A and B are shown apart, each in its own frame.
Chain A
Amino acid sequence: MDGSIMAPDIMKSGAEAVLRALKAQGVDVIFGYPGGAVLPLYDALFQQNAIRHILVRHEQAAVHAAEGYARSTGKVGVVLVTSGPGATNAVTGLVDALMDSIPIVCLSGQVPTHLIGNDAFQEADTTGITRPATKHNYLVKKSSDLARVVHEAFQVARTGRPGPVLIDLPKDILINPAPYCDPSTEPHRSYRPRTEPDPARIDAAIALLKRSERPIVYAGGGIINAGPEASKLLLEFVRLTGFPCTTTLMGLGAYPASDPQFLGMLGMHGTFEANLAMHGADVMLNLGARFDDRVTGRLNAFSPGSKKIHADIDPSSINKSVVVDVAIIGDAAAILRALITAWRADEVRQNREPLAKWWQQIDFWRSKNSMRFTQPRDPGSIIKPQYAIERLYKATRGQAKETYITTEVGQHQMWAAQHFKFDKPNRWMTSGGLGTMGYGLPAAMGVQVAHPDALVIDIAGEASILMNIQEMGTLAQYRLPVKIFILNNRYMGMVRQWQELLHGSRYSESYSEALPDFVKLAESFHGVGLRAEKIEDLDRVIAEMIAVDRPVIADICVDQLENVFPMIPSGAAHNEMLLGPEHKNEEGGYTGKSVTDEGLVLV
């Protein structure tokens, strides 16, 4: 070990050793909430200026904020919570980060080592509880392990498939003196993720791709995680090959939405052309996506005729739900670089004729304009939620600031994904895997901390926003001018939509009863409240929201009964898509071929 070569610095307290390690890891901000077990760390924070602490109002929000910070910067997000309830409150955020592969290091306080296991005040078995909620976790029982564990946690969080790592820190470990050591230059003993792809697999992939007639590139969040370079390489590869490209919800921004080779998002609420192209493809190249059930629909009908190439950094993603023909393990940027080189080096000429025919077919599907909606234009008309997003998008295009979008979970999230266009990676933050209502506001907070001059907007639902509304206080305290754009349909719209489609329009407990006055609510939290009730209010409210340099809640009253289309019902195949309300049957339901009994049990 390095420590044996040079006598390590002994720090006055474990807390100081932790902070020194954080600084060495390049940490400049922590999202946290104090409590008894972490007081030594708060004391050490008080006595320095290098690391900024953002005091959230709930520990779940600290993790989401760190996620927003991480996803918008590519850095590791850092969280600090106390023992017991502090740690348990953080669990939802940790699982969220785990599902979406977001690098987080969460420091949690713990009762002193001699009290562990005694049901001490605010004791929880935090490493036990968070074992399935993290990529890895540690309980530090010896001061001599402290600095090494902190450095290792960052390495584990950031490398391979990124994810949350928790370090449980007993109070005595934080108080007692502890040696400090710099990050080890040696590779980890047992953890060695593979990043460079196997050249033979690259060649096998190129052989399939060169001879393809109906190819499709299906890119996911792995491209974003691999850094902006991976997105550039993706564009280069797609341009080079002339292939159509679709992305997952998590992959939005990995490929420029304005590019003609982009088919839009695929999956349950994806475009007609993306889903049908997946269904009809003869060769599919999956780059950093995981064949999620929201994407595949019914597995035995998923892209039935295609040879599948799956590139992923995580070997356990391969053949998990979909059996593939060529698996490539590695970092998405490294894989794309290798694919580009191999494509160029390969002697076989690509036959562009079938590809041109494929594009004709795709253009036909595209001409259905599956994202269309009808917005009545007479004054006094009710705002369609899709229209609100479209106008918001247009308005953000017309100003100089970089725009970052976060969302809550529900219909508004899908409309945002469908109608807001992202040309760059790291601009779109959403809870994809876990689908956590209450994610968007704290995530936006974290984004705004990382990008103080940017325009950061949480596209929200009126139900979701209430799940972490207390963070309005944090926005006020740190003067974070986050904009909350509520598509207020007075329903848990996504729940209502499923009840309409699958449960005979019995709207059980999905009405948003007794809502607060969001304008007054914003004001009471020292922000600005705006409301748009009719179509003629919309552009003005959006313009004002963007112009104000303070936190804003814009309460956009939208059509209460609008549904998200197109839709592949659970358990249906990609070519069994519902394009719009015209697919309703006589009884007003959407039953029949599209929703099977097996589909009903799926979520």
Chain B
Amino acid sequence: MPDTDPTQRSATISVLVENEAGVLARVIGLFSGRGYNIDSLTVAPVERDPDSTHSKSRITVVTSGTAMVIEQIKAQLDRLVPVYRVSDLSAEGPHLSRELALIKVIGTGTARQEALRLADAFRARVIDASTESFIFELTGATDKLDAFLDLMRPLGLAEVSRTGVAAIARGTRTI
């Protein structure tokens, strides 16, 4: 039987890899080459071995597909030589996802005041200000950031820089 259940779901996949040249290209190439979606991708070194010749990076990919496709994505990632572990956080129990955004809003008068008021309600921090602009720093789940950006749009939203999702399992479970 081909894909029996056509329902698409979103998956947050964490990949622990050897921190070496080309490893990110392998992961990205796998997604583009096999036609998988990437909704968000983050990568940074997370562990350094005591001998300090090796270190590990953690890649977090938010993707979507049918259950069968997501199982394929995991298996394909897992067979890359520099990959240590692959974990589908969204399938393996409760987890936390956060991203950070830097948001520039330009405006004056009431719009500017309203932007500041909303930022306060969202617990966004003002990290830069001029007479005509603010830069807010906001951390949270993706939908919280999306909601804040929607509100800022009519108030002079000028530029956004987002980190993409970092995710981790709740409780004692580790990757």
Residues on A facing B (Cβ under 8 Å): 1, 127-128, 131-132, 135-137, 139, 141, 156, 160-161, 188-191, 299-300, 304, 314-316, 318-323
Within the complex, which residue of A1, A300, A319 is in contact with B71, where a contact is CB–CB below 8 Å?
A319
- Which A residues touch B22, using CB under 8 A? 127, 131, 137, 139
Nearest first, the 4 A-B pairs at minimum CB distance are: A316-B75, A299-B2, A136-B81, A191-B81
A189-B18, A190-B81, A322-B2 as given contacts; A131 in contact with B72, CB under 8 Å: no
Q: Contacts A136-B81, A319-B68 hold; do A190 and B17 have CB atoms under 8 A apart?
A: yes
State whether B25 touches A131 (Cβ < 8 A): yes
A139 near B75: Cβ-Cβ < 8 Å = no
Query: Which residues of chain B in 1-35 are interfacial with respect to chain A, using CB atoms and an 8 Å cutoff?
Result: 1-4, 17-18, 21-22, 25-26, 29, 33
Interface residues of B (CB under 8 A from A): 1-4, 17-18, 21-22, 25-26, 29, 33, 51, 53-54, 68, 71-72, 75-76, 78-84
Which residues of the partner chain B approach A156 to less than 8 Å between Cβ atoms?
Answer: 81
Query: Do residues A189 and B54 form an inter-chain contact, with CB atoms below 8 A?
Result: yes
* Pairs A–B under 8 Å by Cβ, sample size 24: A1-B51, A127-B22, A128-B25, A131-B26, A132-B33, A135-B81, A136-B81, A137-B22, A139-B21, A141-B21, A160-B79, A190-B17, A190-B18, A190-B81, A191-B81, A191-B82, A299-B2, A300-B1, A314-B79, A316-B75, A316-B76, A316-B79, A319-B72, A321-B2
> Is there contact, CB below 8 Å, between A320 and B1?
no
Residue on A with the closest CB to B85? A190
The closest CB in chain B to the CB of A136 belongs to: B81
Q: Return A166 CB to nearest CB of chain B, in Å.
A: 12
Residues of A within 8 A of B82 (CB): 190-191
Other-chain contact of B4, A132, A137, A315, A323 (Cβ < 8 Å): A323
A160 to B: closest C-beta gap in Å: 8
Which A residues are CB-close (under 8 A) to B51?
A: 1
Cβ of B2 and Cβ of A318 under 8 Å apart? no
Residues on the B chain within 8 Å of A161, using CB = 79
Select from chain A the residue with minimum beta-carbon distance to B84: A190
Which residues on A sit within 8 Å (CB–CB) of B4?
A: 323
Could you tell me the dominant secondary structure of chain A's interface residues? loop
CA distance A188 to B2 in the complex (A): 35
**Contacting pair A323 B75 (CB below 8 A):** no
* CA gap between A132 and B22 in the complex, in Å: 12
- Residues of chain B contacted by A318 (CB below 8 angstroms): 75
Is there contact, CB below 8 Å, between A316 and B81?
no
Known: A128-B25, A131-B29, A139-B22. A316 touches B78 (CB 8 A): yes
**B29 adjacent to A323 (CB under 8 Å):** no
Q: How far is the CB of B85 from chain A (nearest CB, A)?
A: 9
* Interface hub of B17, B25, B72, B83 (most chain A Cβ within 10 A): B72
Other A-B pairs, 13, CB within 8 Å; known A315-B79, A321-B2: A1-B53, A131-B29, A136-B81, A160-B79, A190-B18, A190-B84, A300-B1, A315-B78, A316-B72, A316-B76, A316-B79, A319-B72, A320-B72
Kindly list chain A residues whose C-beta atoms are within 8 Å of the C-beta of B71: 319
* Contacts A322-B1, A323-B1 given; does A190 touch B83 at CB 8 Å: yes
Q: Is the CB of B29 within 8 A of A132?
A: yes
- Distance in angstroms between the alpha carbons of A557 and B84 in the assembled complex: 56
How far, in angstroms, from A316 to B22 measured CA to CA in the complex?
21
List, in ascending order, chain A residues with CB within 8 A of B68's CB.
319, 323
B1 touches A299 (CB 8 A): yes
B120 vs chain A, min Cβ distance (A) = 46
Residues of A within 8 Å of B72, CB to CB, are: 316, 319-320
- For A1, list chain B residues within 8 Å (CB): 51, 53
Return chain A residues, CB-CB under 8 Å to B21.
Answer: 139, 141
Q: Closest CB-CB distance, B14 to chain A, in whole Å?
A: 15
**Nearest-Cβ distance from residue A104 to partner chain B, whole angstroms:** 15
| Chain B residues with CB under 8 A of A315 | 75, 78-79
Bound state CA distance, A127 and B51, in angstroms? 28
Please measure, in the bound complex, the distance between the C-alpha atom of A323 and the C-alpha atom of B6, giving whole angstroms: 13
Interchain CB contact under 8 A, A300 and B84: no
Question: Which of chain A's residues have a CB closer than 8 A to the CB of B33?
Answer: 132
On chain B, the residues within 8 Å of A299 by CB distance are 1-2
Cβ distance A583 to chain B, nearest Cβ, rounded Å: 27
CA distance A383 to B14 in the complex (A): 61
- Give the residues in chain B near A139, CB-CB below 8 Å: 21-22
Q: Closest Cβ of chain B: how far from A307's Cβ, in Å?
A: 12
